[in-house]
Structure 1
Amino acid sequence: MEIIKLAEENIHDEHICCAISDKKCVDGYEKKKEWLKKEFRNGYNFQKVNVRGKVFIEYVPIENSWLPITGKNFMVVNCFWVSGQFKGKGNGKKLLEQCLTDSKEMDGIIAVSSDKKRPFMTDPKFLKHQGFEIIDEAEPYFKLWGLKINPKAEFPKFIESSKSGKCPNSQGITAYYSNTCPFTEYYTNRLLREYAKKKNIPLEINQIKSQEDGRRMPIPWVINSVFYKGELVSLEMKVERHLEKLIG
């Protein structure tokens, strides 16, 4: 199947895989497209298999990544998703090969994942199978996976301030989100606000609007995260069930 590269010239005519038919997330969908158009100018890549589904990979040179990672001349994989009927057919490997092709002048590729498969993260089993290794760790479960193209290169690392797994605010609920994902606008700015109001719990929402904001994150993740009394609760969008376990 054909791989399509999104760019400013075709993004208005192409879907971006996530939230294709989710009417709740129309606003977030358009904001993700606007975010992409700006980041394309910084070398951001969005490659997708030409099907109507979630089969895509996003990556950017580390120098322009929003993640709190230090290093140089590596490609950073952001979202990498192969879903449903498109799994197990070589699509993930095909997309990763496209990333490798675009990274041939670089020292390697890195991706933030975890100790196991978690929502919105690249499957660590897949990364390991493709030759990636764990090159750094951060609390409570973040792993930085790396694959060298240049064997003499030094792997990037998480910025130290992103390794604690805790946020500065120890009161109530604290959320961070960016428009790098079309789901965050609805689930964070609407549903989480409604939940906090219903429970009468203090809520602080921080929108990550720039690379500088991302580099100051207390965890190595910029899509969406929710903390309760300073402790990380979840990276998922539908976070109420996680909060209920703590709050009741």
Structure 2
Amino acid sequence: MGHGCCCDARQKVRVVDVDEGGAFAGFLYRCLASMPLRRYRSRLEYLERATADGFRKRLLIFDGSVVGQIEYAPARFSGYPIRGDDVVVMNCVWVLRRAKGRGFGKMLVEDMVRSEGDATGFATIALEDHWSPWFKRSHIEKLGFKPVDEIRVRHKAKHQEHAFSIWLMWMPVKEKASPPKWDKENLLEGVTFCLAHPLYRPQTWKGDILEMK
């Protein structure tokens, strides 16, 4: 992972790297959710693969408190089954409710784009009609991403009667950049890189956690 700090002295804002052994190392294994620090196996396995080549997690600090985060990696090391040449995939971006309205989400995305100068574009996922407040399509679109493809699914363990959409989102930054592709069947397995993710599949769950509608 790289080292760096993006600062705005006027607003007392810093964007810093999260590194093993650094002051914010605990955030490698947890996000901003109110959850205990756990070095769970699936996260450790993901970091072991991803940190070898391009994974970065950055925190936004405002008035001395961590209020935002962004996590991303080259497509081949992302937390999603998304692929593309010179495409960087954003695993997540999150700003705490108490820090909303200051443009911090956009600031984190712009910081990501600056840090990945060789990328042709950036991809992620978004959710629509999901009960979680995270990864909403409308929020991801405000950050500059556009929808490319959609699958309609339901969760096998939670709100089983409730169908929702998962969108592949794309933000090209180079002329003639080729949109990413995704493996929809693989996505039905859910994700394992983050306990707090709306599509998280518990380690004890057997088979796909999602199914097509």
Same fold (TM over 0.5): yes
Counterpart contact for 2:19–2:25, Cα < 8 Å: no
- Structure-1 separation of matches of 2:25 and 2:100: 21
Q: Output the amino acid matched with 1:26.
A: L
Change in Cα spacing, 1:52 to 1:188, as seen in structure 2 (3 Å) is farther
- Structure-1 separation of matches of 2:41 and 2:81: 25
1:46 and 2:70 equivalent? no
Change in Cα spacing, 1:123 to 1:62, as seen in structure 2 (3 Å) is same
- Structure-1 separation of matches of 2:138 and 2:85: 25
Relative to its length, the structure with more helix (as a share) is 1
Q: Which residue of 2 aligns with 1:58?
A: 71
1:132 and 2:145 equivalent? yes
Give how far 1:129 is off: 2.4
Identity %: 21
Q: Output the amino acid matched with 2:14.
A: E
1:71 and 2:84 equivalent? yes
Q: Which residue of 1 aligns with 2:47?
A: 36
Change in Cα spacing, 1:41 to 1:177, as seen in structure 2 (3 Å) is same
Give how far 1:46 is off: 0.2
Larger gyration radius, structure 1 or structure 2: 1
Give how far 1:55 is off: 1.0
Relative to its length, the structure with more strand (as a share) is 2
Structure 1 gap segments, 5+ residues each: 168-175, 190-203, 207-216, 219-225, 234-248
Bigger relative CO (Cα 8 Å, ≥ 6 apart): 1
1:87 and 2:100 equivalent? yes
Counterpart contact for 2:168–2:182, Cα < 8 Å: yes
Matching of residues 59-208 of structure 1 within 5 Å? 59-116=72-129, 119=132, 121-140=134-153, 141-162=165-186, 178=192, 180-183=193-196, 188=202, 205-206=205-206
Counterpart contact for 2:33–2:196, Cα < 8 Å: no
Secondary structure at 1:2's aligned position in 2?
strand
Deviations 1:168-223 (A, max 9, x none): xxxxxxxx552x22458xx946xxxxxxxxxxxxxx614xxxxxxxxxx96xxxxx
Deviations 1:63-107 (A, max 9, x none): 222422232111100021111211111111110111111222111
Structure 2 gap segments, 5+ residues each: 1-12, 154-164
Aligned residues: 183
